[in-house]
A and B are shown apart, each in its own frame.
Chain A
Amino acid sequence: MVKIQVQNLNIWFGSMQVLKNVNLEIESNEILTIIGPANSGKTTFLRMLNRLNELETNFRMNGSIQMDGTDITALDTELLRRKVGMVFALPTPLPLSIFDNVAYGARTHGIKNKKRLYEIVEKALKEAYLWEEVKDRLDISAFKLSGGQQQRLCIARTLAVKPEVILFDEPCSGLDPISTAKVEEAMLKLKQNYTLVLVTNNVKQAARVGDRTAFFLSGELIEIDKTEKIFTAPSDKRTDYYIRGKFG
């Protein structure tokens, strides 16, 4: 089932065109990985799906993005961002306790009941495989956690809002291999209940976790296909070059 359909998407920042006529579909409960060299527009594409690009003053777009048949630009941004959560490249805990970080979204959406909040926090931390490591010290500062734990905390914080789609923007770029493996494990479990879009600079990571993979180059979508296909028999020469490390 198609979760998100992107048609003829063009994005400019000022006079720079960052995305050029992108068309693709994102299926429910899949992990779509997006690979490509720096400045290929993959992060801009990701930030379009929760409309974070609109924070930039000189942002312009045309084309359409539909989620479950509704144009996302017609949605209230607050509502859209509850449905489409995001995990950023560097771990970005807020300067709050572990508990308050995870409860942040729920609180802003008006949930005040302590017991209810605790249930939400516990469930989210379990889903992000962090619960066992932090359950006895939920009130300490989130900054006291290691980088990998912080990133899983950020995943839990996103999950606590109960999104339908989760965007990952190079979530492992600052992590060691063991922490990376834990984050990847969490992602693979999460796709049972969520739709995941993962932008990564790590081609091997795309091969490990992606159901389908899209290759972006200079703002264009070069190809999108099953991950095995992209990594064994890509139809475009440039994809092949990139995967084999010939450029980028």
Chain B
Amino acid sequence: MARIMMDSRKTEKIVFFFLFLATLLIVAPVGMIIVIIIQKGLPAINWQFLSDIPRQGMRAGGIFPAIVGTVYLVLGAIAFALPIGLLAAIYLSEYARDNLLNRLIKLAIVNLAGVPSVVYGLFGLALFVVFFKFGASILSGSLTLGIMILPIIITTSREALESVPYSFREVSLSLGASKWQTIRSVVLPNAIPGILTGTILGLSRAAGETAPILFTVAAFYLPQLPKSIFDQAMALPYHLYVISTQVPNVDEKIRYATALVLLTLVLFMNLVAIIIRYQFRKKKKW
């Protein structure tokens, strides 16, 4: 009996060790990436780097146009994907009956999430740049990124809507409210935190992707700010790719500093969304 006890205690320790190790292995790369990028990039960050245009063939100067380009692209993608994604999510969670068409739609959305990002790039090139004649422009790039993040927004919004207790809907309907009134005044307000989480995920994804903007918007070198949504623009991920592989003799500092700015930008956008979400969660009462 005592030996069995000892054995089970030993097993417990071994299991704990491996579970903890696996968890640690996940955290380690994240920490290392952050430490290395900050260590190597921070020395190159100064006001000029953030506010100036690239100079001397991108070996000096700043990355301001790329920052602005990325911000425009992300905002454009969200402006396109959030309304459409949310409306689709409302349809799927509140109105869609379980029939063949709706199952096909759900299947399509799941598959959309699995399409490689470079395929979105080619799709954007064919549809927006060539067919709709938007050219390589912020509009084309935003729409391409928007389609890429649609499945994320739809899936998370749907989960958020479906997590609102069913009894809330029944109560609202039983008081004589219409279905749309019920959605608007009971379901949506309580799903906002979850919807924002989806938006955060989509936003980060859109800010960091290179392939979808490669053919649809990104300029190799464009030392000025875009004047309209029909202009090409520089973007941080693509700029990083360019100075890392396409331009010789770029100081390592500049490359890491660019990565640091991209990381900070995404983090900052996430932070804003997290704060908004927190404000809503505080009000959540069930």
Where the two chains meet, the residues of A that have a C-beta atom closer than 8 Å to any C-beta of B are: 50, 52, 55, 57, 77-79, 81-82, 85-86, 88, 90, 92, 94-95, 104-105, 107-109, 141-143, 154, 157-158, 161
- Contacts A94-B168, A108-B181; A161 near B285 (Cβ below 8 A): no
| A82 and B176 within 8 A (CB) | yes
Q: How far is the CB of B278 from chain A (nearest CB, A)?
A: 17
For A79, A104, A109, A158, which residue has the most chain B Cβ atoms within 10 angstroms? A104
Q: Kindly list 18 other residue pairs between chains A and B, CB separation below 8 angstroms, not including A95-B283, A104-B185, A108-B185.
A: A55-B173, A77-B173, A81-B175, A82-B175, A85-B174, A88-B171, A94-B168, A95-B168, A95-B284, A95-B285, A104-B175, A107-B185, A108-B181, A109-B176, A142-B285, A143-B285, A143-B286, A161-B175
| A78 and B177 within 8 A (CB) | yes
Tell me the complex Cα distance, A77–B186, Å: 18
B173 / chain A contacts, CB cutoff of 8 Å: 52, 55, 77, 81
B97 / chain A contacts, CB cutoff of 8 Å: 57
- Contacts A57-B97, A57-B98, A78-B178; A95 near B286 (Cβ below 8 A): yes
For A52, A81, A154, which residue has the most chain B Cβ atoms within 10 angstroms? A81
- With beta carbons under 8 angstroms apart, the residue of B168, B176, B190, B285 that contacts A81 is B176
Tell me the complex Cα distance, A158–B173, Å: 11
Q: Is the interface of B mostly helix, strand, loop or mixed?
A: helix
| 10 A-B residue pairs with CB within 8 Å | A52-B173, A78-B178, A79-B176, A81-B175, A92-B168, A94-B172, A95-B168, A104-B175, A105-B175, A158-B174
| A108 and B177 within 8 A (CB) | yes
B286 / chain A contacts, CB cutoff of 8 Å: 95, 143
For A77, A85, A88, A108, which residue has the most chain B Cβ atoms within 10 angstroms? A108
B171 / chain A contacts, CB cutoff of 8 Å: 88, 92, 94, 154, 157
Q: How far is the CB of B167 from chain A (nearest CB, A)?
A: 5
Q: Name the residue on B nearest A81 (C-beta).
A: B176
Q: When A and B form their complex, what is the total count of cross-chain residue pairs whose Cβ atoms lie within 8 Å?
A: 68
* B251 on interface, CB distance cutoff 8 Å: no
* B170 on interface, CB distance cutoff 8 Å: yes
Number of chain B interface residues as a range = 20 to 34
| B178 and A88 within 8 A (CB) | no
| A86 and B176 within 8 A (CB) | no
B167 / chain A contacts, CB cutoff of 8 Å: 88, 90, 92
Q: How far is the CB of B37 from chain A (nearest CB, A)?
A: 42
Q: Is the interface of A mostly helix, strand, loop or mixed?
A: helix
Scoring B residues 265 to 284 as 1 if CB is less than 8 Å from chain A, else 0, what string do you get?
Answer: 00000000000000000011
Q: Name the residue on A nearest B98 (C-beta).
A: A57
B181 / chain A contacts, CB cutoff of 8 Å: 108
For B170, B171, B181, B286, which residue has the most chain A Cβ atoms within 10 angstroms? B171
| B170 and A55 within 8 A (CB) | yes
Q: Name the residue on A nearest B184 (C-beta).
A: A108
Tell me the complex Cα distance, A141–B285, Å: 8
A141 / chain B contacts, CB cutoff of 8 Å: 285
Which residues of B, 148-205, contact A by the 8 Å Cβ criterion? 167-168, 170-178, 181, 185-186, 190
Q: Name the residue on B nearest A106 (C-beta).
A: B175
Tell me the complex Cα distance, A57–B178, Å: 18
- With beta carbons under 8 angstroms apart, the residue of A55, A57, A88, A105 that contacts B177 is A105
A78 / chain B contacts, CB cutoff of 8 Å: 176-178
B285 / chain A contacts, CB cutoff of 8 Å: 95, 141-143
Tell me the complex Cα distance, A13–B97, Å: 16
| B175 and A157 within 8 A (CB) | yes
- Contacts A108-B185, A143-B285; A86 near B174 (Cβ below 8 A): yes
Which residues of B, 60-75, contact A by the 8 Å Cβ criterion? none
Q: How far is the CB of A233 from chain B (nearest CB, A)?
A: 37
Q: Name the residue on B nearest A84 (C-beta).
A: B174
A57 / chain B contacts, CB cutoff of 8 Å: 97-98
Tell me the complex Cα distance, A191–B176, Å: 21
For B167, B170, B173, B175, which residue has the most chain A Cβ atoms within 10 angstroms? B175
Tell me the complex Cα distance, A92–B284, Å: 15
For B173, B176, B181, B284, which residue has the most chain A Cβ atoms within 10 angstroms? B176
Tell me the complex Cα distance, A96–B144, Å: 40
A85 / chain B contacts, CB cutoff of 8 Å: 174-175
For A57, A92, A142, A143, which residue has the most chain B Cβ atoms within 10 angstroms? A92
Q: Name the residue on A nearest B167 (C-beta).
A: A92
Q: How far is the CB of B284 from chain A (nearest CB, A)?
A: 7
Tell me the complex Cα distance, A116–B190, Å: 27
Nearest 4 Cβ contacts at the A-B interface: A82-B176, A105-B175, A108-B177, A81-B176
